[in-house]
């Protein structure tokens, strides 16, 4: 359960360094999702198409309290992007099934405050009360990590990723098998495209809700980060991790 450490961290400013530390009609969720999955929508149109979906999702999340049944209902809204069985419908959308609850809560908090920017997630998180955010984080952590079918990195890529880790110390926070811990997210088996884009966003200052990560990513080249993303995406953890 995450309530205790969340209460201790809730007062932290949104940008803290956390290492160890005219009315539009909303589209059908299934119509939008199916269009993206099948590739009917061009990539450039997906973001614009998902904006009214975010408004629809925010409205769906507004009612009710954080009961177990209600949280399960609210979590269904998330499947429009994050997938019915935890497999995201787009390669740039992260897997959240099995992700660390502390990390998920902090990201929802930062989306809500605006410390982490997203035209999609901002309106969704804005509609959530703190108890809902904690309950949703725990709900998704309890799910099994999805099998995304990403191949293991070849030896040369794995070697470059190991050198990058030795340089910037990823495992100091994300643990030895990149399984994450507490407020530090699991990276092993995450979507390669999402990992690479996120690391570059930290490096370029597009993502600003963890300045410590930005400093670390600036110490690695884009090519190093691409190798790290490919390596992490292909990692398979042993059962129970």
Q: Which of 90, 112, 141 is the C-terminal boundary of a domain?
A: 141
Q: What is the pLDDT of residues 136-179, one digit of tens each?
A: 999 999 999 999 999 999 999 999 999 999 999 999 999 999 99
Q: Give this prediction's pTM.
A: 0.75
Cα separation of 17 and 211, whole Å?
A: 6
Range of the domain at 118: 3-15+26-141
Q: Which of 141, 166, 182 is the C-terminal boundary of a domain?
A: 141
Quick check: helix, strand or coil at residue 232? helix
pLDDT tens across the length of the chain (241 residues): 555 444 444 444 444 444 444 333 333 333 334 433 334 344 444 454 455 445 445 555 554 555 566 888 889 999 999 998 999 999 999 999 999 999 999 999 999 999 999 999 999 999 899 999 999 999 999 999 999 999 999 999 999 999 999 999 999 999 999 999 999 999 999 999 999 999 999 999 999 999 999 999 999 999 999 999 999 999 988 655 5
- If we measure between CA atoms, which residue out of 141, 135, 221, 147 comes closest to residue 186? 141
CATH of the domain at 121: 1.10.760.10
Tokens of 112: 């809500």
DSSP calls for 49-101: HHHHHHHHHHHHHSSS---HHHHHHHHHHHHHHH-TTS--SSTTS---TT--H
Same domain, 63 and 166: no
């Amino acid at each position: 359960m995450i309530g205790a450490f969340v209460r201790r961290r809730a007062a932290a400013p949104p940008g803290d360094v956390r290492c160890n530390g005219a009315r539009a009609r909303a589209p059908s969720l299934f119509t939008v999702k199916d269009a993206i999955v099948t590739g009917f929508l061009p990539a450039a149109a997906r973001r614009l198409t998902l904006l009214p979906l975010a408004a629809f999702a925010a409205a769906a999340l507004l009612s009710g309290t954080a009961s177990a049944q209600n949280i399960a209902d609210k979590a269904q809204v998330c499947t429009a992007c994050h997938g019915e069985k935890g497999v995201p419908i787009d390669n740039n959308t992260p897997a959240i099934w099995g992700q660390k609850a502390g990390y998920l809560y902090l990201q929802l908090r930062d989306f809500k405050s605006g410390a982490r920017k997203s035209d999609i997630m901002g309106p969704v998180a804005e509609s959530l009360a703190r108890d809902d955010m904690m309950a949703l984080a725990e709900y998704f952590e309890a799910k099994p990590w999805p099998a995304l079918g990403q191949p293991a990195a070849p030896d040369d890529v794995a070697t470059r990723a190991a050198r990058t880790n030795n340089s910037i110390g990823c495992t100091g926070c994300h643990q030895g098998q990149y399984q994450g811990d507490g407020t530090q997210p699991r990276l092993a088996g995450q979507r390669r495209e999402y990992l690479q884009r996120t690391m570059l966003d930290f490096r370029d200052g597009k993502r600003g809700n963890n300045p410590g990560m930005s400093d670390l990513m600036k110490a690695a080249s884009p090519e190093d980060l691409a190798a790290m993303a490919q390596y992490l995406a292909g990692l398979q953890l042993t059962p129970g991790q």
